[in-house]
Structure 1
Amino acid sequence: MGLMIRDQRSGRNPGRRGAPTRGAVRVTPPAPRSWPRLGMPSLQGLRGSGRRLQQLLWPLLLVVLGMGLYELVDRLQPLAQRPVSVINVEGDLQYIDRASVQAALAPYQQKSLVTIDLDALRADLLAMPWVAGASVRRVWPDQLVINLDEHLPVARWGDDALLNNNGRAFTPEQIDSFQGLPLLNGPERAKKRVMQNYQQFNRLLRPHGHEVARLEMRDRGSWFLTTRGGIEMLLGRDDVLDKMQRFLTIDRLMLAERRELIARVDLRYSNGMAVAWREPATVNGE
């Protein structure tokens, strides 16, 4: 907005165009007020201050940390030296003897939780005949938790050992109570294969009223099977499952009513089989 001043003596407006009026007063507007400028610290200065602060704080922080660790070690040392007082043994155990487990754990009971050798303890547990798997873990401050897995006996292997369902042999001190299990035999390297064939044969035979009592893989790879009904089967080396299917088909069609009279079945033929009877008999298709 403009500023206008009238001369009271002449009554004229000095703002109009023309020659200046005599006695007019010229007014100069005031200069703008200047405010003091506030200084801001430079970025480089801040960085320099931050570095100096870090240089001062790091030694102090390290001292505090060292004192804290010393105090922690001092408090935990008595607990670390405390002997193991509780050992929990977990697992669905049927055959593992409690006294055998206690004997295996005895050398470790006076050791502290920190110094106890878990790998050595686990190895001692796995050396027990019935233990198929073992895990050991620490529970602070003075407990051990042990989980044991037992072998599941499925069959006998030879005269002195048992086989679990994975074809793994183990040798308990007494196996007399397992004489009812099927007897499997074969080369030592073939345990898993014998177990696999045993399981496959049983799956085929059981729906038809048969069950494996004995299975043997002989040196040249031929298979010999005996059912619980006393029927001996010579299966040869190749295509043994197909041969078993062939026997079951003929058994269902022709032999089911006379099973008790069958002594031996020879399935080593490519397209048939031979039957040996317990007493003389004539059977069509023999």
Structure 2
Amino acid sequence: MSSRVPAYSSQPAEGKKPAAGAAGTRDNEGFGFWHSPEWMNLVSDILLLAVSVAIGYAAVKGVLRMPFFELRQVVVTSPLGQVTSAQLEYAAVSSLRGNFFTVNLDQARQAFEKLPWVRSAQVRRRWPATIEVSLEEQEAVAYWRVVDTGDMRLVNRQGEIFDAASNASMPMFSGPPERAGEMLTSLRNINTLLQPISRTVASLQLSERGAWQLKLDDGLQIELGRDQAKAPLEDRLKRFIAAWPEAHAKLDGKWAVADLRYPAGFAVRVAASSTSNHNEAGKKGTP
């Protein structure tokens, strides 16, 4: 008599799924944010750092706004000529807001630069409660007459037009505003050329077409015209100055207008009150 051992297989029966047991549960453990101590510690450190920074920033802001950091004085370190104390006080009161640490220096600088006669300003802090202001004042060298309106402005030493009032004795400019610097350079050159006859320029005018006209301190009006390659302005003016002594000896009366727009000479018109109303000097050509 024989006995049979029943067959054993570890594979599940066909058509059946393994039941979820303890082994499956153990395989899913340890995954996800809440089951990762490393990630939780990192996030908590970041949050703690952010809160600390926010608290520190608020604390610093609070301390900086405390009364014992208030501004006590404004010191002007540059000598003043045209700017008044009242103007400086107005600019300081209207722009210096806050305390030593919170005051907006750029806003204060702009307020000082808006004052008449101020070309540029520098504003800085000086511990513990002082604001230092250094000003560069405008230095006017000529008046500027606006062609369209007749309004008067001033020209500084850099050839820039600015708004201010003055009663100083200076030459008068009129022309395209963008050429103010060129006119200032021409004024200096012309005055140098006029030194042999002891005259200076009282007014200088430049038209939109580039024609130059000047009036001397004795009232003589000189028509220079436009600069030309064949007859540069400087050459025409030098020729006129060289002929000045002899021409004055020949022409009686006060000269009213000298026309230098001729290629090889110039023409002179004597004032109407003189005995001779029209005289000419040099070679005349087509103007």
> In the alignment, which residue of structure 2 is the partner of 1:127?
114
Residues 121-157 of structure 1: CA deviation (Å, up to 9, x unaligned): 1111111121011111111111111111111111100
Q: Give TM-score scaled by structure 2 length.
A: 0.67
The residue aligned with 1:196 is 185
Match among 146, 159, 165 for residue 157 of structure 2: 165
Tell me the residue number matched to 2:221: 232
C-alpha deviation, 1:193, in angstroms? 1.2
Q: Secondary structure of the equivalent of 2:194? A: helix
1:250 maps onto 2:249 in alignment = no
Q: Which amino acid aligns with 1:272?
A: G
Is 1:241 the counterpart of 2:234? The answer is yes
* 2:203 alignment partner AA: R
Residue-by-residue CA offset, 1:251-286 (whole Å, 9 max, x unaligned): 134327868621111111111111111220767647
Higher Cα Rg, which structure: 1
Q: Distance in 1 between matches of 2:186 and 2:87?
A: 34
Structure-2 residue corresponding to 1:22? none
* Residue aligned with 1:273, SS: strand
Q: How does 1:114-193 map to 2 (within 5 A)?
A: 114-158=101-145, 159-172=151-164, 174-175=165-166, 177-178=167-168, 180-193=169-182
Q: Structure 2 residue aligned with 1:107, among 72, 86, 94?
A: 94
Q: Is the 8 A contact 2:269 2:280 kept in 1?
A: no
Structure-2 change in CA distance of 1:78 and 1:221 (3 Å): closer
Which residue does the alignment assign to 1:266?
A: 259
Against the structure 1 CA distance between its residues 166 and 109, is the aligned structure 2 distance closer, same or farther, given a 3 Å change threshold?
closer
Identity %: 28
Gaps of 5+ in 2: 1-55, 146-150
SS at match of 1:116: coil
The alignment covers a number of residue pairs equal to: 212
- Which deviations, in whole Å up to 9, do the C-alpha atoms of 1:8-31 show, x marking residues without a partner? xxxxxxxxxxxxxxxxxxxxxxxx
Change (3 A) 1:259 1:107: farther
Q: 1:250 to 1:107 in 2, by over 3 A?
A: same
CA–CA distance in structure 1, aligned partners of residues 117 and 170 of structure 2: 17
Cα pair 2:265 2:282 within 8 Å, conserved: no
Partners of 2:78 and 2:251 lie apart in 1 by 48
One-letter code of the match for 2:143? R
Change (3 A) 1:264 1:108: closer
